[in-house]
Amino acid sequence: MSKWDLSPLFPSYDSEAFKQSIDTIESLTEEAKSFARELPEKRGTVQVIERYLDLVRKLRRTFVKTQGYVNLRLATDATDEESQAWMDRLQRYASETVSLDAAFSKWLGGVDDLEDVIEANDSLKPFRYYLLRKKDKAQYLLSEREESLVAKLSQTGSNAWSQLQGLLTSTLEIEFEGETLTLPEVRNKAFSRDAAERQNAYDAEIAAYEKIEQSVASALNAIKGEVNEIVKWRGYESALDQAVHDSRMQRKTLDALLASMREHLPMFRKYLRKKAALLGHEGGLPFYDLFAPIGQSERTFTIDEAMDYVIENFATFSDDLADLARRARDEDWIDFTPRKGKRGGAFCFNIHPIGQSRILTNFKGSFSNVITLAHELGHAYHGDRIFNEDILNASYTMPVAETASTLSETIVKNAALKEASGDEKRFILEQSLTGTTQVIVDILSRFIFERSVFEHREKGPLSARQLKELMMSAQKEAYGDGLADDCLHPYAWLNKPHYYRSGLSYYNFPYAFGLLFAKGIYALYLEEGQSFVGKIDALLQETGKRDVEDVAKLIGIDVSEQAFWDKSFEVIEKEIEQFLSLAE
């Protein structure tokens, strides 16, 4: 049960099903290239659009299933040479289909009456948002030849550098107290009750990074340098400008979110200083004690116990959410435990063609691990809602991607708080605040760092030393006196895979958006009761067909105004006040 089952995708690389899927990709790739070449001469607007939608739907379904299988195998074994070879081959196929997207978007940009055409044809109406976004994208596209070249060069450029970072961090061996451990295993010791173990693990982690810092710094420089050049070619003002546009949100919304986050930093710093005092430190908290447990909870969880606990509490919200978690357990969607070669952290991958998801965690039995499990199952629940839509309407952006996941972990946290008392209640509350601090304060530090890297990279590559300095500067700006100046984490840029995706810059602020958005939604749920669950389900299903602001309007929320974000922070402020009271 501790490993996921990938057989619903494919039995193996040698299976007929996988071979047929590769043949289909090859055939569709050639068809896509041909369609793109002939597109300028094609006539009949409706017929051309329908043909494109049919072709791209087939491509997406086949790629999601096939490339997903390879990605999932690599996620649990970064050294799998066969999977690495297949990933390289599939990325080459994907790069060859880029001309289709570029050619069609440009062609669509020339259809002046597109909205009228869509309104007059029932076959196109379900794809109104998808098509209008394609038309909008035309203004940022290079020529089909240039787009194809960029995609091909990225395979030996940014994608290769990203794979290097994943390989180095997943195979890094750390000597710790006579044992050879993986990076996730050592990082998990940050949650230990033993103060000496936490500090020693931090020291061992920092020392180990010195072995790979130059290589990973090269990877980061290459990726950010590539992004800087390409966004300028496309006509964006910056990588942040592109990230906001790709997130299908307004810059006004991001500015409102960031302003609210900054204004509420003092309450987090107050919490961190109190935690430092409880752990015997003067002033700010040393980084190695950031995740230290406060209070007592004798409870640890086996995998079965964790799943039962999550399902039981999900059921208090809705039967559908609980049933989804049961499916994930019974159908072996989850790869639970850490091992050599397996990537750290956690993620959920929605697989639309089979109507299932796959979840990776590094479960060790802590309450924090249970919350992570609930979080990722929330992503799976979002997937389950979106599977009701056509695959072309199933791509939601990162800000709303964290909605169901944060909502799900909130359900479990609040249930745990209700049944707890005394020292255990303080423990659970503090664990919740630890997570919230990461999603608000640490995420802000990551945003500040990434923006600094992009700006400095315009002038030239950064050394590992410079990257460490930028990271510590960002941490000081976000955490302030909540962290000890002499014990930060200079390598927080090295172990976060989010920085190493050329197609997804600033994969940080969406987490803060998701947490605060979910807090606001949960508050409305508490006010309106079970009748509100259906509205949440409808919102989740619509996330692939609307801009972020319009998604929020479905439940009467205006995310472009700071007032909404400030209101969400009131919920967190009450939690901090409760913790401070319990800590006295």
Once rounded to an integer, what is the mean pLDDT over residues 148-171?
Answer: 91
Rounded distance, CA 470 to CA 476, Å?
Answer: 10
* pLDDT-derived band at 482, boundaries 50, 70, 90: very high
Rounded distance, CA 73 to CA 71, Å?
Answer: 5
Is pLDDT above 70 for 66? Answer: yes
Rounded distance, CA 495 to CA 417, Å?
Answer: 32
Please name the residues in contact with 529: beta carbons below 8 A apart, sequence gap of 6 or more: none
For 229-258, the pLDDT digits (tens) are 999 999 999 999 999 999 999 999 999 999
Please name the residues in contact with 166: beta carbons below 8 A apart, sequence gap of 6 or more: 74, 78, 343, 497, 500
Please name the residues in contact with 385: beta carbons below 8 A apart, sequence gap of 6 or more: 404, 537, 540, 541
Q: What is the pLDDT of residue 109?
A: 87
Rounded distance, CA 410 to CA 408, Å?
Answer: 5
Is pLDDT above 80 for 296? Answer: no
* pLDDT-derived band at 468, boundaries 50, 70, 90: very high
Once rounded to an integer, what is the mean pLDDT over residues 312-331?
Answer: 96
Q: What is the pLDDT of residue 184?
A: 84
Residue with tokens 């960029």: 150
Once rounded to an integer, what is the mean pLDDT over residues 289-308?
Answer: 89
Q: What is the pLDDT of residue 6?
A: 97
Q: Which of 66-70, 144-148, 215-219 has the lowest mean pLDDT?
A: 144-148
pTM above 0.95, yes or no: no
Q: What is the pLDDT of residue 397?
A: 86
Is pLDDT above 80 for 453? Answer: yes
For 78-94, the pLDDT digits (tens) are 899 999 999 999 999 99
Is pLDDT above 90 for 421? Answer: no
Closest CA to 334 of 366, 302, 380, 291: 380
Query: Do 293 and 191 meet the contact criterion of CB atoms below 8 Å apart?
Result: yes
* pLDDT-derived band at 55, boundaries 50, 70, 90: very high
What number of other Cβ atoms are within 10 A of residue 353's Cβ? 17
For 21-51, the pLDDT digits (tens) are 999 999 999 999 999 988 877 788 999 999 9
Once rounded to an integer, what is the mean pLDDT over residues 508-524?
Answer: 91
For 342-401, the pLDDT digits (tens) are 988 899 999 999 999 999 999 989 888 999 999 999 999 999 999 999 999 999 988 898
Q: Token digits for 82?
A: 């066969």
Q: Hey, which bits of 284-361 come out as E strands?
A: 334-335, 347-351, 356-360
Residue type, 345: G
Once rounded to an integer, what is the mean pLDDT over residues 55-59?
Answer: 97
Closest CA to 295 of 425, 482, 194: 425
Q: What is the pLDDT of residue 368?
A: 82
Is it true that domain 163-295+432-500 has CATH number 1.10.1370.20? yes
For residue 358, the cross-strand partners are 349
* pLDDT-derived band at 165, boundaries 50, 70, 90: very high
Once rounded to an integer, what is the mean pLDDT over residues 405-423?
Answer: 87
Is it true that domain 16-138 has CATH number 3.40.50? no
Q: What is the pLDDT of residue 1?
A: 65
What number of other Cβ atoms are within 10 A of residue 259's Cβ? 13
Closest CA to 334 of 369, 366, 367, 299: 369
Any idea where the domains of the chain sit in the sequence? 16-138, 163-295+432-500
